[in-house]
Chain A
Amino acid sequence: VDLEVAVREDAGVVILSAKGEVDVWTADILRQSLRDVQAEGEPHVIVDLTEVPFVDSTGIGVLVGALKRARETGGSLHLVVVSAGVRKVLAITSLDQIFPVHESLSDAISAAAAEGATPDGRGAVVTE
């Protein structure tokens, strides 16, 4: 398997941890995992790409689709990105302006949990 996606929950936030390369062949695995999680009504989702050194435009398309679905239900989609290459493709497509992108999973959990705690959308104080 070229890409593995594990799903777990932490602090009330669903985390999809991907491992491997996301391209036109493997993107379906990520797409299906995101759809399954969002179909279960999970509004706040983190996609952890810490162990993903490569994402191409097909993978970007999958993430954009998931972000649209999240926003339709008042949810959010956070990314954890470590790879310089993955950051670059997000920058090229200007999606680093649209996605909350975090450098560590703990940062992403804090941000997503804060959103989850404020369904009225008024924000919350996060203690780092």
Chain B
Amino acid sequence: VSALDTSPPPAPDAALEDRVVIETPAMPRYVAVIRLTAAAMTSRLGFTLDSVEDLKLAVDEAVSLAIESASPGSKVTVSFVVTDGALYVSARAPAASAPNEDSYAWGVLVALSDNARCRFEDGVAEVSFEIPPRTDES
């Protein structure tokens, strides 16, 4: 650092700062680990208690769906990205089939989130959703 450099330190990179990725074996026993991590993370980011509870359930359903269709022995990768107060969650796993959209899990996820999507491309199943920014009016 130059002695002449008196400028303030650069602003933290928001994309880097508010992105958390968890990878676990794609097995049911790990779903609790993932949803509790999601709850802890969003509490720290200022989400309200109600929205944290909703998020915990939405994450649980998305990850359960991804794991259900995952190939045996594979891993599930769950990413959480916060942008302008909105949270984007994605659960991906190598799979032989698409996540089951004819399920209670999918119905619950759609009810709790925005833009819930199931994809199956190139041998990877992905379930994603968004939680919109909280508005003071709501």
How many residues of A sit at the interface, in one of the four size bands? 10 to 19
> Are the C-beta atoms of B57 and A58 separated by less than 8 Å?
no
Write the chain B residue with the least CB distance to A56: B60
Interface 1/0 per residue, B29-59 and A, CB below 8 Å? 1011001000000000000000001101100
> Are the C-beta atoms of B112 and A92 separated by less than 8 Å?
yes
Cβ of B32: which chain A residues have Cβ within 8 Å of it?
A: 2, 21, 23, 25
B103 at the binding interface (Cβ < 8 Å): yes
Neighbour of B105 across the interface among A25, A57, A85, CB < 8 A: A57
Neighbour of B57 across the interface among A24, A56, A61, CB < 8 A: A56
Instruction: List chain B positions with a Cβ less than 8 A from chain A.
Output: 28-29, 31-32, 35, 53-54, 56-57, 60-61, 64, 67-68, 103-105, 107-108, 111-112
Cβ of A25: which chain B residues have Cβ within 8 Å of it?
A: 28-29, 31-32
Write the chain B residue with the least CB distance to A26: B32
Instruction: List chain A positions with a Cβ less than 8 A from chain B.
Output: 2, 21, 23-25, 54, 56-58, 60-61, 84-85, 88-89, 92-93
Cβ of B67: which chain A residues have Cβ within 8 Å of it?
A: 24
Q: Which 3 A-B pairs have the closest CB atoms?
A: A57-B104, A25-B28, A57-B105
Neighbour of B56 across the interface among A54, A84, A93, CB < 8 A: A54
Cβ of B105: which chain A residues have Cβ within 8 Å of it?
A: 56-58
> Taking chain B's interface residues, is the majority helix, strand, or loop, or is none over half, making it mixed?
helix
Write the chain A residue with the least CB distance to B68: A24
> Are the C-beta atoms of A93 and B31 separated by less than 8 Å?
no
Query: Would you mind naming 7 contact pairs between A and B with Cβ atoms under 8 Å apart?
Result: A23-B64, A24-B60, A24-B67, A54-B56, A57-B108, A88-B54, A93-B107
Write the chain B residue with the least CB distance to A91: B111
Query: In whole Å, how far is B40's beta carbon from the nearest beta carbon of chain A?
Result: 15
Write the chain A residue with the least CB distance to B104: A57
Rounded to whole angstroms, the CA-CA distance of A4 and B60 in the bound complex is 20
Write the chain B residue with the least CB distance to A59: B104
> Are the C-beta atoms of B53 and A58 separated by less than 8 Å?
no
> Are the C-beta atoms of A54 and B104 separated by less than 8 Å?
no
Neighbour of B61 across the interface among A2, A21, A56, CB < 8 A: A56
